[in-house]
Amino acid sequence: MGEIEWIRPPRLAEVVAAYQGFAFGAGVRTGLVGQLVACSAEDPAAALAQWASEPAVQPDLVSWQSARDLVKNRYRGKIRSQGSGALIWALPAAAQRLGEDRIRELVELTHGPDSAAADSVIMLASHLFTSSKLDPPDADVFTAAGALAQAVRGEGRGVARAIAGALEGGPEHDVRLVAEELYRRSW
Amino acid sequence: MRALTPIEQLLHEYEDDVNGFGHHAAHGELLIPGEVLLSDREVLDVYTDESRLPAGVEQWIRLPLHTVLSRLISSKPKLHVNPGQPFEAEFDFVELADAAAQHMRICGCGERPTATREASRWVDGEGRRFFVVPHKDSSRLRGCLIGGAIGDALGANTENLPMEVVYERHGPDGITDLPEKPDITDDTQMTLFTFEAIIRSHVRQRITGEREITGITQNAYQRWLHTQKTPWDKARGIHSTMDEPDGWLVSHQQLFRMRAPGLTCTSALQEYARTGEQATITKPVNDSKGCGGALRVAPVALVDDDPMVVFALAAANAALTHGHPSGYLSAGVFAVLVHQLLRGKDLPDALDVAVDSLVRREGHEEVVAAIEHAVELAALGSPSVARVEELGSGGVGDTALAIALYSVLVTDDPNDALLLSVNHGGDNDSTASMCGNLAGALHGVEKIRPDWVERVQFREVVDRMVADWELETSPAAPVGQEWFVRYPPS
């Protein structure tokens, strides 16, 4: 278990297009873009903690609270979620061609251990920069699996809309610099 | 013929047994004519009931036996109960105080704040009766409860009607005012019973030290069920042996009206009455995520300073009748929002606190998504019917919460928020009721249209209960028999 069969490394233009498309799809929810930037950092845990310490506009609420817990363990119960915000991990995971185990570790940072969302993240990551058709099964729209299905159909809002943007590509956006830096780091 | 007071029953039971009487009657109440408890007399006349007081006595004080004993320890007068009347008895102070002290030591009640408070508050330095009831600003709490009632009444006649019908009935702006007869529905009825349960559980904790909220709330909802044409012997539950429902709230005959009671609630409460098994999150009564669990929990915000505790109690409350996570977790969020708003937080900060509790609960995803949707739409501004309806119909907990939240987030005025939350083709009395709870807690009652506040049904009952809550939670919480009849601790 644990390894995704990466066919070929993504091209820089593909990574940039996905990041810009994500930012375009996120629209007013710029907090999602901030989260993508943190998830793309060299030390995602530290970057998420930093991200959660500053104001954000409409972030993924589950990730936001989890990131706070990275700084301050509240001893009030672990967060364990299959929410849609986990899908954000698919972008840096695909750009860096991470293994399944590492992707699950990253998803655990925001969505807790053994999150069902990890499967959807892996599915999206392994298809993101390929030409194969992504055909996820239908699921409740408030889960990562459901949001992925919506995104593939170009439906939904919030994270689903942002992921739909990543799949389609988007216009120029500052997040390009993050994509370029990540791309360089992954080589 | 009136019932015997507890002290009379004990006098009868322990007729010649000062130890037995003192041991059991320490918390029983006696009446002392006059305005102050004097300490320089050899015999103190005390009475067991107002009807036994001597003719012409216009003022008296009522206090527990242990307080009488602790206050008169220096002079040690004889205690003469009901001189010349039924249940007459005379006690040597020392003998009686020994027996009462034994009780206080054994049961530990002398250590409880209620006992020490009672003993310390009695007479001031000049010998005057001295009750301190600090004034609290109740504007937000009144706003919360009255705002909820107004929202409920605004939508009472158009619940689940399409907007086309609403426009036809009310004109192109939809609902803009309270109906001529501004009656509330089951939403506010249940909220009132929740509030009553919170007061009664506080009374219970004060006199026994035991905290029991959800069980007392279950009993309150069984009384509500009785108001909905369920005979008391079918509504009270198999654990109750009471011949009739108790307490002050249920004595309001106007509550005995079927105001579109939710079927999920009534069937779950009937199930409890039949089986005696209280539904919980881990032992759900059904799989319903209807909004009936959330719309009634605003008063749960009063029970604790810790929002996590409020969340847990509100979720447990909703789980009495609604077993799906989106039904009871939306209740947890809603109660924490009210909790934070009552403390002066703004809505985004309150939401932050509520979500912190929410995301740690299993099955939170749907409610999180609803909240994110509401916040996303609110950020776009330009409130409209279409945007409200985009959030759903309000029939389930998560969408009702989303509509209420959206309406308050996107407006600056509680009246605008109320009208926004009521003008849609779904469960609009529930969404407007929840919106009213939030908007009233955020802005205070003064910001709500005075004519609405004045006219809405049960406003006097809400005001009375708010005053009672403040008294109950004050250092001068009542110890009189009437109070425990008004809010029995069960």
For residues B23 and B10, give the distance between their C-alpha atoms in angstroms, rounded to a whole number: 10
Adjacent-strand bridge partners of B33: B60
Q: How are strands ordered across the β-sheet holding B43-46?
A: B43-46, B78-81, B89-91
Output the pLDDT for position B37. Answer: 61
Domains, chain A, ranges and CATH? 12-185 (1.10.4080.10)
pLDDT digits (tens, 9 = 90+) for A119-176: 999 999 999 999 888 999 999 999 999 999 999 999 999 999 999 999 999 999 999 9
Output the pLDDT for position B344. Answer: 95
Distance, C-alpha B43 to centroid of its chain: 42
For residues A101 and B385, give the distance between their C-alpha atoms in angstroms, rounded to a whole number: 47
Output the pLDDT for position B124. Answer: 47
Mark whether B197 and B339 lie in a shared domain.
Answer: yes
Contact B372 A61 (CB under 8 A): yes
AA identity, residue B143: G
* Nearest CA distance, B78 vs chain A (angstrom): 57
Adjacent-strand bridge partners of B31: B47, B62
Count of the separate structural domains present in chain B: 2
Query: Chain B residues with CB inside 8 Å of A61's CB?
Result: 355, 359, 368, 371-372
Higher pLDDT, B479 or A116: A116
Contact B359 A157 (CB under 8 A): no
Nearest CA in chain B to A69: B356
Task: Give the closest of B359, B375, B376 to A81, CB-based.
Answer: B359
Nearest in space to B198 (alpha carbons), one of B101, B301, B95: B301
**CATH code, B379:** 1.10.4080.10
Mark whether B41 and B189 lie in a shared domain.
Answer: no
Predicted structure pTM score: 0.81
For residues A14 and B115, give the distance between their C-alpha atoms in angstroms, rounded to a whole number: 74
- Please state the φ and ψ torsions of residue B307, each to the nearest 5 degrees: -60, -30
For residues A154 and A134, give the distance between their C-alpha atoms in angstroms, rounded to a whole number: 12
Q: Where is the domain boundary, B130, B150, B171?
A: B130
* Nearest CA distance, B112 vs chain A (angstrom): 30
Mark whether B108 and B156 lie in a shared domain.
Answer: no
* Tokens linked to B337: 């929002």
Mark whether B420 and B277 lie in a shared domain.
Answer: yes
For residues A145 and A150, give the distance between their C-alpha atoms in angstroms, rounded to a whole number: 9
Query: Chain B residues with CB inside 8 Å of A141's CB?
Result: 369
ipTM attached to this prediction: 0.93
Mark whether B304 and B355 lie in a shared domain.
Answer: yes
Mark whether B248 and B374 lie in a shared domain.
Answer: yes
Nearest CA in chain A to B360: A79
Mark whether B160 and B209 lie in a shared domain.
Answer: yes
* Nearest CA distance, A15 vs chain B (angstrom): 27
pLDDT in tens, chain B (490 residues): 566 777 888 898 888 899 989 888 888 888 888 766 666 778 999 999 888 988 888 778 888 888 888 878 778 889 999 999 999 999 999 999 998 888 777 766 655 555 555 544 444 455 444 444 455 789 999 999 999 999 999 999 999 999 999 999 999 999 999 999 999 999 999 999 999 999 999 999 988 888 899 999 999 999 999 999 999 999 999 998 899 999 999 999 999 988 778 899 999 999 999 999 999 999 999 999 999 999 999 999 999 999 999 999 999 999 999 999 999 999 999 999 999 999 999 999 999 999 999 999 999 999 999 999 999 999 999 999 999 999 999 999 999 999 999 999 999 999 999 999 999 999 999 999 999 999 999 999 999 999 999 999 999 999 999 999 998 998 778 877 889 999 999 9
* Long-range CB contacts (within 8 A, 24+) of B10-15: B11/B48, B11/B81, B11/B87, B11/B89, B12/B87, B15/B89
C-beta atoms surrounding B276 within 10 Å: 11
AA identity, residue A99: G
For residues B440 and B449, give the distance between their C-alpha atoms in angstroms, rounded to a whole number: 11
pLDDT digits (tens, 9 = 90+) for A5-33: 777 789 999 999 999 999 999 999 999 99
Nearest CA in chain A to B349: A55
Mark whether B250 and B102 lie in a shared domain.
Answer: no
Query: Within a domain: residue B101?
Result: yes
Contact B260, B157 (CB under 8 A): no
Task: Give the closest of B361, B368, B379 to A61, CB-based.
Answer: B368
Contact A76 B369 (CB under 8 A): no
Mark whether B42 and B93 lie in a shared domain.
Answer: yes
Adjacent-strand bridge partners of B61: B32
Mean pLDDT, residues A56-61: 95
Mean pLDDT, residues A91-100: 96
* Tokens linked to B48: 């067991």
Query: Within a domain: residue B1?
Result: no
Query: Within a domain: residue B279?
Result: yes
Query: Within a domain: residue B228?
Result: yes
φ/ψ region of B295 (left if φ > 0, alpha if ψ in -120 to 50, else beta) reads alpha
* Nearest CA distance, B287 vs chain A (angstrom): 16
Q: Where is the domain boundary, B130, B155, B173?
A: B130
For residues B177 and B415, give the distance between their C-alpha atoms in angstroms, rounded to a whole number: 10
Task: Give the closest of B357, B376, B380 to A158, CB-based.
Answer: B376
Query: Within a domain: residue B358?
Result: yes
Domain housing B82: 6-130
* Nearest CA distance, A54 vs chain B (angstrom): 14
Query: Within a domain: residue B489?
Result: no
Contact A10, A169 (CB under 8 A): no
Query: Chain A residues with CB inside 8 Å of B373's CB?
Result: 157-158
Higher pLDDT, B114 or A95: A95
Which residues does B contribute to its contact with A (CB < 8 Å)?
Answer: 308, 355-357, 359-362, 364-366, 368-373, 375-376, 379-380
Q: Where is the domain boundary, B102, B130, B158?
A: B130
For residues B71 and B74, give the distance between their C-alpha atoms in angstroms, rounded to a whole number: 8
Query: Chain B residues with CB inside 8 Å of A143's CB?
Result: 365
Output the pLDDT for position B118. Answer: 52
- Please state the φ and ψ torsions of residue B397, each to the nearest 5 degrees: -60, -45
- Please state the φ and ψ torsions of residue B123, each to the nearest 5 degrees: -125, 140
Nearest in space to B50 (alpha carbons), one of B82, B77, B25, B26: B82
Mark whether B279 and B256 lie in a shared domain.
Answer: yes
When scoring A62, A64, A159 by the number of chain B Cβ atoms within 10 A, the one with the most, hence best to mutate, is A62
* Nearest CA distance, B336 vs chain A (angstrom): 16
Mean pLDDT, residues A97-104: 96
For residue B129, the 8-state DSSP code is: B
Mark whether B287 and B166 lie in a shared domain.
Answer: yes
Which pairing describes strands B60-64 and B78-81: parallel, antiparallel, or unpaired? unpaired
Query: Within a domain: residue B490?
Result: no
| Cα four-point dihedral sign A161, A163, A164, A166 | positive
Contact A61 B360 (CB under 8 A): no
Mark whether B123 and B166 lie in a shared domain.
Answer: no
When scoring B324, B336, B353, B359 by the number of chain A Cβ atoms within 10 A, the one with the most, hence best to mutate, is B359
